[in-house]
Structure 1
Amino acid sequence: MGNVHEDPLSELGLRLRTLRAQRGLQVNGLTNRSMLGRTTVSQALGGKVVPSEATLVALAQALSTEPRPLLELRQDAVQGRGQERQLRRRQPSTGPHAAGHQARGDARERPGRLVRELRDPFDLEVQWAIDVSGGDDSDPLPVYVEREHDALLRETVLGALEGRSALVTLIGGSSTGKTRACWEAVQLLPDEWRLWHPIAPSHTDAVLAGLAKVGAHTVLWLNEVQHYLLTSDPAVGERVAAGLRELLRTPERGPVLALATAHPEDWARLTAASPPRDDYPHARALLTGSSVRVRIPDQFICDHAALEEAAQADPRVAEASAVAIEGRLTQYLAGVPALLERVGLASRMARCLLIAAVQLRRLGHGPMLPLHGLEATAASLTPDHIWNEHARPGWLESALEYLSAPCRGVPGPLSPVQPRPGTPPADQPLYQLSGHLFGIGRYELRHDCPPAAFWAAALQHAYTDEDRQALATSAYERGRVCLSASVSDGRDLFGLYDRGSSYVLGQEADRARAENAVATISEQRASGQLQRNAVLAYFYQRQEAHHLDQLGEHEQAAAIWRELADQGHPDAFVHVGRYHLEFGRRTPAERWFRQGAEAGDDDAMQDLVFLVAEDGLFDEAAEWTERIARPAESGDIYAYSRLAYCYKRAGNLTQAKIYFRKAIDAGLVDCYQELIELHLEEGDIEGACRLYAEAIEAGETSAPMMRAEEQREHAKADELAFTALDRGRTVEPLRLLLLHRLQQPDTVTLGTALGRAAIDAGEAFIVNAVASELSADGHNRAVEALQRIFDEVDESVGQ
Structure 2
Amino acid sequence: MQGMGENNVTGGSLENVVQAGSIGELTINSAARPQLPRPLRDPARWPLAASWDALAAGAHRARPGADGTTLPPYVPRDIDARLRERIARPGLTVVVGDSTAGKTRAAFEAVREVHPGRRVVAPPPSTALTLVPEAIETASAPCLLWLDDLERYLGPEGLEPDVLDDLVRLGVPVVATMRLKQYATFSGGRDRTVGTEVLRLAEVVDLDRLWSADELARAEACDDIRVADALAHHERYGVAEYMAAGPALWSEWDRARKTTGHPRGAALVAAAVDLSRTGLPGPYTSDLLTELHGAYLTKAGGELLRPEPLDEAFAWAGDLRHGVTSLLLPADGGLWLPFDYLVDHAEDQVPEEVWQAALRVADDRDRHAIGYSAWEKAPHIAEAAFRSLAESGSAEAMTALGLVLALDERVEEAERSLRSALEHGYVSAPYALGVFLYLQDRPAEAEPHLRQVVAEGTTAAITPLADLLATAGRHSEAESLLRVAVASDLPEAPLRLAVLLTDMGRHDEAEPMLRALHTEAEPLVVVPLATVLSASGRQEEAEHLLWQALPEGSPSVALKLATLLIDTDRREEAEHVLRPLLAKDDLSAAVMLGGLAFVDGRFDESAALFRRAIADPRVPAFLGRALAKAGHSEEAEPLLRTATENGDSSAARSLAELLIHTGRSAEAEELMRAHATPEADALTPNE
Q: Please, what TM-score do these two structures have when normalized by structure 1?
A: 0.52
Q: CA deviation at 1:481?
A: 3.0
**Alpha-carbon contact 1:168-1:294 (below 8 Å) kept:** no
Secondary structure of 2:104 counterpart: helix
**2: CA distance between counterparts of 1:148 and 1:403?**
36
* Helix, strand or coil at the partner of 2:76: coil
The AA in structure 2 aligned to 1:259 is V
| Alpha-carbon distance in 1 for matches of 2:249, 2:443 | 65
Contact 1:245 1:286 in 2 (8 A): no
Whether 1:221 aligns to 2:146 is: yes
- Alpha-carbon deviations, 1:71-120, whole Å to 9, x = none? xxxxxxxxxxxxxxxxxxxxxxxxxxxxxxxxxxx9954893323453x4
TM-superposed deviation, 1:128 = 1.1
Query: Could you tell me which of 353, 361, 366 is aligned with 1:461?
Result: 361
| 1:136 aligns with one of 59, 67, 75 | 67
Query: What amino acid maps onto 1:146 in structure 2?
Result: P
| Aligned-pair identity (%) | 22
1:182 is aligned, of 99, 104, 107, to 107
Provide the C-alpha distance between the structure 1 equivalents of 2:576 and 2:310, rounded to a whole number of angstroms.
Answer: 47
Q: Does 1:376 align with 2:291?
A: yes
CA distance in 2 between counterparts of 1:645 and 1:144 reads 46
Aligned counterparts of 1:360 and 1:500: Cα–Cα separation in 2: 21
Q: CA deviation at 1:743?
A: 7.8
Structure 2 distance, partners of 1:500, 1:333, is 41
Offset at residue 614 of structure 1 (A)? 6.4
- Give secondary structure in 1 for the equivalent of 2:72: coil
Quote the Cα distance in structure 2 between the aligned partners of 1:116 and 1:487: 42
User: Residue 75 of structure 2 corresponds to which residue in structure 1?
Assistant: 145
Report the Cα offset of residue 657 of structure 1.
5.3
Q: 1:514 to 1:223 in 2, by over 3 A?
A: closer
Higher RCO (Cα < 8 Å, 6 or more apart): 1
Letter in 1 for 2:366: D
Q: Which residue of 2 aligns with 1:208?
A: 130
> Equivalent residues in 2 for 1:51-90 (5 A)?
none
Q: Is the 1:169–1:287 contact (alpha carbons within 8 Å) kept by the matching residues of 2?
A: yes
Structure 1 residue 367: deviation in Å? 3.9
Q: Which amino acid aligns with 2:336?
A: Y
- RMSD, matched Cα: 5.6
The counterpart of 2:211, out of the listed 283, 294, 299, is 299
Distance 1:453 1:320, change over 3 A: closer
| Alignment-derived partner of residue 6 in structure 1 | none
Counterpart position of 2:175: 259
Tell me the amino acid that sits aligned with residue 263 of structure 1: R
Q: 2:443 and 2:377 mapped to 1: Cα distance?
A: 38
The 3-state SS of whatever aligns with 1:148 is coil
Which whole-Å deviations, capped at 9, do the CAs of 1:625-678 have from their partners, x for residues lacking one?
44577756xx7x777777666654543334555787899999996565334433
Q: 1:171 to 1:614 in 2, by over 3 A?
A: closer
Partner Cα distance (1:487, 1:594) in 2: 24
Separation in structure 2 between the aligned mates of residue 329 and residue 580 of structure 1, nearest angstrom: 52
Q: Does 2:101 match 1:170?
A: no
List per-residue Cα deviations over 1:215-265 (Å, max 9, x = no partner). 573232232333345x5x8xx77x5355436634x4xx33x4433333344
Change (3 A) 1:246 1:412: same
CA distance in 2, matches of 1:208, 1:581: 37
| 2:49 aligned to which of 98, 115, 127 | 115
Residue 405 of structure 1: how far off its partner (Å):
0.5
Q: Answer yes or no: is the 8 Å Cα contact 1:300–1:327 preserved in 2.
A: no
Shift of 1:277: 3.2
**CA 1:399–1:260 in 2, change beyond 3 Å: closer, same or farther?**
same
Structure 2 partner of 1:50: none
Which residue identity lines up with residue 674 of structure 1 in the other structure?
A: P
**Contact 2:330 2:337 survives alignment (8 Å):** yes
TM-fit CA distance, 1:776: 6.0
Matched, 1:653 2:583: no
How far does residue 196 in structure 1 lie from its aligned partner after superposition? 1.5
Matches within 5 A, 1:487-502: 488-489=387-388, 491=391, 496-497=400-401, 501-502=405-406
TM-score when scaled to structure 2?
0.59
Larger Rg: 2
* Post-superposition offset of 1:385: 7.3
Q: Structure 1 residue 210: deviation in Å?
A: 0.4
**In 1: Cα distance, 2:534 partner to 2:471 partner:** 25
Displacement after TM superposition at 1:407 (Å): 0.6
Paired residue type of 1:331? E
Query: Structure 1 414/209 Cα, relative in aligned 2: closer, same or farther at 3 Å?
Result: same
Q: Distance in 1 between the 2:384 and 2:268 partners?
A: 28
Deviation at 1:195? Answer: 1.0
Number of equivalences? 526
Which among 335, 356, 369 is matched to residue 470 of structure 1? 369
Map 1:30-429; keep pairs closer than 5 Å: 109=43, 112-118=46-52, 120-131=53-64, 135-137=66-68, 139-153=69-83, 160=88, 164-165=89-90, 168-188=93-113, 192-202=117-127, 205=128, 207-214=129-136, 217-229=142-154, 240-241=160-161, 243-244=163-164, 247-248=167-168, 250=169, 253-254=170-171, 256-268=172-184, 277=191, 279=193, 282-288=197-203, 293-299=205-211, 301=213, 307=219, 310-311=222-223, 314-321=224-231, 326=236, 328-346=238-256, 347-383=262-298, 386-390=301-305, 395-417=309-331, 419=332, 429=334
Residue in structure 1 matched with residue 645 of structure 2 by the alignment? none
Whichever residue aligns with residue 376 of structure 1, its letter is E
CA contact (8 A) 2:483 2:497 kept: no
CA distance in 2, matches of 1:127, 1:211: 29
> Which residue identity is paired with 2:106?
A
Q: Extract unaligned runs of 5+ from structure 1.
A: 1-105, 420-425, 519-534, 547-563, 565-569, 583-588, 719-736, 747-770, 780-799
CA contact (8 A) 1:225 1:260 kept: yes
Q: Partner letter of residue 72 of structure 2?
A: P
Distance 2:376 2:532 in 1: 35
Q: Is the 8 A contact 1:380 1:453 kept in 2?
A: no
Whether the 8 Å contact between 1:641 and 1:660 is mirrored in structure 2 is yes
Aligned-partner residue type, residue 141 of structure 1: L
Report 1:611-760 matches (<5 A): 618-626=475-483, 647-655=501-509, 670=524, 672-682=526-536, 683=538, 703=557, 739=587
Which residue does 1:63 correspond to in 2? none
AA aligned to 1:397 is D
Secondary structure at 1:188's aligned position in 2?
Answer: helix
Inter-partner Cα distance in structure 2 for 1:265 and 1:668: 22
* Displacement of 1:142: 1.8
Distance 2:466 2:221 in 1: 66
AA of the residue aligned to 2:276: R
1:705–1:381 Cα change, 3 Å: farther
Tell me if structure 2 keeps the 8 A contact 1:128–1:334.
yes
Equivalent residues of 2:382, 2:404 under 8 A apart = no
Residues 466 and 477, structure 2, Cα contact 8 Å, conserved in 1: no
Is residue 481 from structure 1 mapped to residue 380 from structure 2 by the alignment? Answer: yes
Aligned pairs (5 A) from 1:516-531: none
Q: Structure 1's 187 and 646: CA in aligned 2 closer, same or farther, altered over 3 A? A: closer
Instruction: Give a deviation string over 1:495-526, Cα, whole Å, max 9, x none.
Output: 544599446668xxx77x799x79xxxxxxxx
Matched residue, 1:433: 338
- Aligned partners of 1:170 and 1:296 also within 8 Å: no
Distance 1:340 1:536, change over 3 A: closer
Alignment partner, residue 55 of structure 1 = none
Secondary structure at the residue paired with 1:146?
coil
Q: Equivalents in 2 of 1:319, 1:403: separation in Å? A: 26
**1:479–1:121 Cα change, 3 Å:** closer
Cα contact 2:386–2:400 (8 A) shared by 1: no
Q: Which residue of 1 aligns with 2:606?
A: none
The 2-side partners of 1:226 and 1:705 are apart by: 40
Distance 1:409 1:666, change over 3 A: same
